[in-house]
A and B are shown apart, each in its own frame.
Chain A
């Protein structure tokens, strides 16, 4: 292979036909409210752990929807529950994160 001194950047394309969304589907069975999320980001904006550990529930839900594993992000959650208080769709986000942690435990 020839070295031109530059190379391809990793593509950010999400191919939903190939993405493994099993984690999202399992979580949806436990937390049907997951479908109510409109990705407004209120949870992430109010998150105490965001600044410290990079937690973002919005990103977690988007990653699950796109077949990516958000485990490293979820591990930063302190379960304070502030996100539940601000969610405009009334999703019990704290419980949603707990359910996701239970799925990880079973894994």
Chain B
């Protein structure tokens, strides 16, 4: 194939990402799982890189988690989303950036449904007006927060204090990238690289010095699947999905996993503990697990923020082996000190998975 032809094909998988002026909507679950990720997204994009990023305390859940858990109809989720759009209109923004992958999928799905069925959009406008006397404009652009970091990855690399490189050997760290299903499997054209060649996390890893590893189950779901996890009788399916991925990636000796979804880092992190407790197997080196990070946490580490300020102490799998490899300094004594040095207490250690 001629090079120009390849470039043309690749251009079909590209996504235009606005450079500035974003209306940021947070996830309803991420702050419980990985408490500093969203705060550091704002800190990096707004404070460090000087972009216009606006968020409002009046924002609520997008309803996606309830919609995908079969507890509310889509019309309810649509009315909730319509209210978020009205908040964005009120603030004078046109580019919506979502923290959550499911929110991203939810917003895309709703906009596409309205495009196909304008009468439904008219009905939702009526619902919103009756419920809270609000009106909305549809966003000109919807993107995920990982798209924004992808767009700014080289600016972050230029300010990097540490790189995804093993400081002992000088070799790039071997990174598993895991994309949330609702990012590009619902609407492939909405994700960088589409569903076939998702590049949003690969771009960050390569820009920050790491090496992306390919393995057979790379595009497999983490197993969250909402009802797969939320209904206890189905929870084994959820764990089995993650287990299949761990078994598949293990021979490639990954140093870390980077993800862009609220559920994926949580399950890839916590299931390593459950697999260790129930099957007696660990996937990292020396009895540790494979550390799992959100892309904001990795950006924060690269930029030299304190690992404990980034919330890495709430991970189940110990991040310390990776910090040592990258050469990131950390103080074990302050690991469990929270805001204003308040003692947040030490968790009990698991029996199967090595932790600090």
Q: How many residue pairs bridge A and B at CB < 8 Å?
A: 39
Chain B positions within 8 Å of A7 at CB level: 236, 239, 278
Asked whether any CB of chain A lies closer than 8 Å to the CB of B92, the reply is no
How many of A's residues come within 8 Å of B, CB to CB? 11
Least Cβ–Cβ distance between B13 and chain A, in angstroms? 28
C-alpha spacing A6/B233, complex, angstroms: 7
- Contact B280–A8 (Cβ < 8 Å): no
A1:B278 contact, CB within 8 angstroms: yes
Nearest CB on B from A6, distance (A): 4
Task: List 4 A-B pairs, minimum CB-CB distance, nearest first.
Answer: A6-B236, A6-B235, A9-B240, A2-B277
State the A residues within 8 Å of B (CB): 1-9, 11, 13
**Dominant SS at the B interface?**
helix
Given A1-B277, A1-B278, decide whether A6 and B244 contact each other with a Cβ distance below 8 A.
Answer: no
Q: Contact mask B214-247 → A, CB, 8 Å, 1/0?
A: 0001000000000000001101110110011001
Give Cα A7–Cα B278 distance, bound, in whole angstroms: 8
Are B232 and A5 in contact, CB atoms less than 8 angstroms apart?
Answer: yes
Interface majority SS (helix, strand, loop, mixed), chain A = loop
B239-A6 in contact (CB<8A): yes
How far, in Å, is A10 (CB) from chain B's closest CB? 8
Q: Judge if B32 is at the interface, Cβ distance under 8 Å.
A: no
B278 partner, pick from A2, A9, A11, A13, beta carbons under 8 A: A2
Question: With the chains together, A1 CA to B281 CA distance in Å?
Answer: 11
Q: Is B331 an interface residue (CB 8 A)?
A: no
Q: Is B4 an interface residue (CB 8 A)?
A: no
25 of the cross-chain contacts (CB-CB < 8 Å) are: A1-B277, A1-B278, A2-B277, A2-B278, A2-B351, A3-B278, A4-B235, A4-B277, A4-B278, A6-B232, A6-B239, A7-B236, A8-B236, A8-B239, A8-B243, A8-B275, A8-B278, A9-B240, A11-B240, A11-B243, A11-B244, A11-B247, A13-B217, A13-B244, A13-B248
